């Protein structure tokens, strides 16, 4: 296949490298001819590196470089071009002008694709004489390593274009997901669940950025915490995506931005590229602050109230680790009280169960089998009780487990992050923006989560996820946490969250 890539920046040269490696001939063009020469040199260098690391042979690398054809003009005639992939400035007028020129110099059979990450595919196509030939083909940086692409039909895209692009992507070594033309498409939309909730937790001073990141990594299993990831991608970029998706969905409460970001962006706290974001970066930058040592009395008796499954599990774990359990109907005078919370607060348990406020703390059930445990303290917590409860939770057989102490909030940190990720993915599914399987595929491949959000919800259980969403909503009154129809229906019907169900009759029209 002959592909013309217009735009020789980071994305364009990445797309070109992916395509020539897959065996396609690539015409590479840019408004700046010198950028094309730089991109050709970059691709040649990357393929040379692949040879050095044993990932490809010298012959295959040389053949791939031969398939890279530099053009002096993006609008050069090209009778043999099958596909154009545009990767230029994220500006509607610029893209529309480019495609208007391309449809005049390329055959009518050539498919036009935009790599836009934020603009409407339909609006770009609307400026063409034949809008039916254009679709979105959105890759992620670095393209050769991020083996996923979103195929986005516009409102006027003809039926054959989508299967053509899906087939091209799949046969060229990447996975393809078909996504409706909506703000943020799929990956950028789904990614808002984690970062918007992390920012909300930071707003509320539940924990600092490093503390939230530790819980996200060690309890949820994410490779990078939300603030580490934001520093890597750039807060200016992240904030723009947050606002674009929120505004595009008419100020959906589930996607509500944080007041923290505008001032940080204005101050240049963008992350690694500016030397400072939520963390310090660069030579001589301080490492993240060390966690305080465990100094409490691990032999202090612990009372876990109630007979609910979470309470039974806390007692089982503590008993297995040799903790001293107070098994009385009411907590003794000396013990600390550990309440497992699921979408609710420690303060609510203190009031409902008549527990001693100074000695009652919360434990997140999600953290019991994880690499880190999470302890929640209230404004009434006695510092000695916090210290001793942390020591009890930190003892896990012969090995110590790190314990994060956070402020009491509905659901604690990990539950809120997970609930938000599942809710946003469920709202994508119920709008039919993408199929459930494609949502999970795109998120694991594009965002690196250990599980797709819907499959993750199924690991917890649809009914338990619904209970978490209802508890968060009921405890806070914040519409951000209102249960989705997708989760509610599947929990009531005993279906997994990954179940798409039969399509409605109108879907076949």
Active site residues: 117, 138, 150, 188
Could you tell me how far CA 454 lies from the centroid of its own chain?
13
Sign of the dihedral defined by the CA atoms of residues 347, 352, 355, 361, in that order: negative
CA-based Rg of the chain, rounded to a whole angstrom?
26
SS3 state at 26:
strand
List, in sequence order, every beta strand (DSSP E) within 335-381: 336-340, 360-363, 373-377
* Alpha carbon distance, N-terminus to C-terminus of the chain: 33
Indicate the burial class of 482 (C-beta count within 10 angstroms; 0-12, 13-18, 19 or more). Answer: middle
Report how far residue 466's alpha carbon sits from residue 422's, in angstroms, rounded to the nearest whole number: 10
Q: What is the DSSP string of 230-282?
A: HHHH-HHHHHHHHHHHHHHTTS-GGGPPPTHHHHHHHTT--BGGGTBSSSB-S
Residue 20, φ and ψ in degrees, nearest 5: -70, -35
Cβ atoms 34, 1 nearer than 8 A: no
Indicate the burial class of 206 (C-beta count within 10 angstroms; 0-12, 13-18, 19 or more). Answer: buried
Cβ atoms 270, 236 nearer than 8 A: yes
Alpha carbon distances (Å) from 7 to 65, 115, 476:
18, 10, 47
Between strands 399-400 and 395-396, the pairing is antiparallel
CB atoms within 10 A of CB 334: 11
CB atoms within 10 A of CB 436: 22
Best CA proximity match to 187, nearest among 377, 440, 363:
440
Report how far residue 338's alpha carbon sits from residue 375's, in angstroms, rounded to the nearest whole number: 9
């Amino acid at each position: 296949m002959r592909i013309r890539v217009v735009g020789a920046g980071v994305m364009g040269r990445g797309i070109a490298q992916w395509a020539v490696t897959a065996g396609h001939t690539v015409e590479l063009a840019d408004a700046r001819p010198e950028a094309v020469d730089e991109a050709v040199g970059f691709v040649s260098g990357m393929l040379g590196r692949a040879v050095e690391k044993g990932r490809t042979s010298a012959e295959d690398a040389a053949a791939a470089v031969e398939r890279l054809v530099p053009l002096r003009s993006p609008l050069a005639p090209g009778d043999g071009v099958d596909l154009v992939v545009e990767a230029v400035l994220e500006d509607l007028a610029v893209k529309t002008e480019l495609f208007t020129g391309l449809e005049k110099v390329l055959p009518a059979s050539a498919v036009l694709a935009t790599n836009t990450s934020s603009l409407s595919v339909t609006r770009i196509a609307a400026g063409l004489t034949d809008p039916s030939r254009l679709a979105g083909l959105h890759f992620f940086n670095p393209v050769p390593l991020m083996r996923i692409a979103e195929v986005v039909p516009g409102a006027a895209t003809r039926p054959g274009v989508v299967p053509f692009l899906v087939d091209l992507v799949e046969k060229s070594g990447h996975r393809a997901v078909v996504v409706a033309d909506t703000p943020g498409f799929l990956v950028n939309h789904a990614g808002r669940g984690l970062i918007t909730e992390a920012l909300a937790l930071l707003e509320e001073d539940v924990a600092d950025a490093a503390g939230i990141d530790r819980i996200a990594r060690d309890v949820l299993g994410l490779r990078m915490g939300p603030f580490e990831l934001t520093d890597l991608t750039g807060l200016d970029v992240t904030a723009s995506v947050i606002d674009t998706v929120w505004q595009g969905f008419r100020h959906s409460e589930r996607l509500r931005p944080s007041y923290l970001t505008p001032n940080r962006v204005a101050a240049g706290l963008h992350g690694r590229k500016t030397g400072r974001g939520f963390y310090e970066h660069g030579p001589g930058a301080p490492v993240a602050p060390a966690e305080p040592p465990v100094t409490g009395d691990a032999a202090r008796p612990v009372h876990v109230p109630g007979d609910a499954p979470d309470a039974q599990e806390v007692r089982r774990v503590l008993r297995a680790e040799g903790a001293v359990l107070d098994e009385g109907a009411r907590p003794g005078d000396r013990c600390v009280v550990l309440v497992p919370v699921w979408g609710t607060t420690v303060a609510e348990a203190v009031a409902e169960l008549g527990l001693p406020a100074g000695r009652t703390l919360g434990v997140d059930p999600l953290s019991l089998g994880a690499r880190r445990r999470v302890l929640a303290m209230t404004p009434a917590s006695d510092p000695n009780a916090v210290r001793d409860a942390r020591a009890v939770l930190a003892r896990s057989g012969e090995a110590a487990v790190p314990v994060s102490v956070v402020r009491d909030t509905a659901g604690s940190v990990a539950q809120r992050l997970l609930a938000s990720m599942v809710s946003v993915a469920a709202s994508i599914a119920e709008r039919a923006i993408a199929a459930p399987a494609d949502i999970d595929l795109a998120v694991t491949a594009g965002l690196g989560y250990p599980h797709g959000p819907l499959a993750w919800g199924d690991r917890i259980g649809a009914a338990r996820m619904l209970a978490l969403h209802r508890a968060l909503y009921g405890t806070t009154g914040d519409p951000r946490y209102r249960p989705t129809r997708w989760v509610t229906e599947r929990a009531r019907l005993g279906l997994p969250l990954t179940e798409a169900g039969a399509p409605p009759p109108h879907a076949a029209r």
